[in-house]
Amino acid sequence: MKSNPAIIAIAILWTIFGIIPVAYFFSPMPTENWFNAHPACQFLGMNVLVTSLAAVTLLLLRADSGSDREKVIRYCGFALLSLLLTDIHYDQVDRFHMNWQLDQFNSTFLHTSLPPYTYRFLAEGTLWWMTLVTGDFQFGYEIYRLFFTFLLCLAIYRLARLYLPSAHSILVVFVYSAFYTLSTRYYFGNLFDPMSHLVILTALYYCQQRQFWSFFWLLVLGIFVKETMILLVPCYYLMNLENTRLFEKRNLQQTVLLSVGGLMAFFACRVPFHFSFDYETINRIPESMIWTNLGIGHPKMGSPVSIYMRYAHPFLFIFMWLPVVIWGRRRLPVPLFWTCIYFTTTLYISNLIFAWNYESRNFVPGLVVLVICTFVVLKDWAAENPAVGRS
């Protein structure tokens, strides 16, 4: 299928404009003092930012498929849901850690942040443009989180619609929202999470659509947001298994090209910051987190969070869904099944090695894919058992 030129342009321009403020050592808040001295202009700038994002939303609405009434209801519903989730995030995370978030933002542009935040600068680069027109970090931050949470809800729905009817796809979004509070339970409010999840799920959509160059540039964009994106490279190969032979030449060539492009992007945002192949420069840890997460032996890392949470979160976000997916594998499209198994497995293993297992926000993209697979299996099973479906 022909790639989407609009998506390619957005991915490239977003990457460039996100890099520029960081690469050229721009001041973190260049307009703060001026706007503080001119509050009327600051109010105008806030309205310009909100109006601009509303215009982007209207463009997405017009480009979306479906009847006008259905689209308006769905977009309004997702907007209200995103507002609720942003408010929950503020109440449970932001109001306690806003100073930490501001320090992370400032240190990104001063090039004093520590790994892995050193390499995950595209979210800060994006927020920089939002604060430029307002001079207010907290306002820009909250609008940023609201807007990207809204886009994430749209991306979840759009990916689900490839396999499910509209009503079930909306339920997938609500399952995500039900897990939202738990996923943000143990962190300080990193900027890159909603953006990273958005790009991952959007890339999976274009992967399923066989739009190679759309997927390629989203892969590059996503790696500059967070390195987890590189796990998606084999997904393009797996998503094409249904229409090609196992060792089809073109499919393998495209996978190799994705691997090369992904690795180039991976090193491009690391080599300038003195990256080396050790745990300290990868994720600022002294050793692998495997034994720490499993609570075995005498690891160097410790945490005040109960060890039970290191098992409970992976179970709730990943492992409790797998039995249904594996049981109903014949009810799933082959590419979707193998992509789900590969992606969730590598997502868990990478988190097991480099992060805390109770940081379940890292599992959110995998959770979405698992929920979609579960709904597909249960929908097909209910269709074969109409008495169960009616009950």
What's the pLDDT tens digit per position in 200-217?
999 999 999 999 999 999
Residue 137's pLDDT is: 97
389 pLDDT tier (thresholds 50, 70, 90): low
Contacts of residue 296, Cβ cutoff 8 Å, sequence gap at least 6:
none
Cα–Cα dist 152/147, whole Å? 9
Q: What is the pLDDT of residues 129-171, one digit of tens each?
A: 999 999 999 999 999 999 999 999 999 999 999 999 999 999 9
Q: What angle do CA 360, 208, 382 make, to 5 degrees?
A: 75
Instruction: Read off the amino acid at residue 50.
Output: V
User: Which pair of tokens denotes residue 302?
Assistant: 């410790």
The total domain count for the chain is: 1
Contact predicate 333/163, CB 8 Å: yes
The whole-angstrom separation of Cα 323 and Cα 241 is 23
Per-residue pLDDT of 328-350, as tens digits, reads 999 999 999 999 999 999 999 99
Q: Is the pLDDT of residue 20 over 80?
A: yes
Task: State which residues form the domain around 100.
Answer: 5-390
pLDDT given at position 387: 60
Question: Can you give the pLDDT at residue 390?
Answer: 54
Say if CB 293 and CB 310 are below 8 A apart: yes
- How many other C-beta atoms lie within 10 A of the C-beta of residue 224? 25
Alpha carbon distance 184, 361 (integer Å): 6
* pLDDT for the residue 241: 78
> How far apart are alpha carbons 333 and 203 in whole angstroms?
18
- What distance in Å separates the CA atoms of residue 372 and residue 365, rounded to the nearest whole number? 11
Confidence (pLDDT) at 233: 96
How much is the average pLDDT of 116-126?
Answer: 94
Model confidence band, residue 245 (pLDDT cutoffs 50, 70, 90):
low
In which element (H, E) is residue 117 found?
none
Average model confidence (pLDDT) across the chain: 93
**pLDDT at residue 61, as a whole number:** 95
- Alpha-carbon distance of 278 to 286, in angstroms, equals 9
Predicted confidence at residue 242, as pLDDT, reads 65
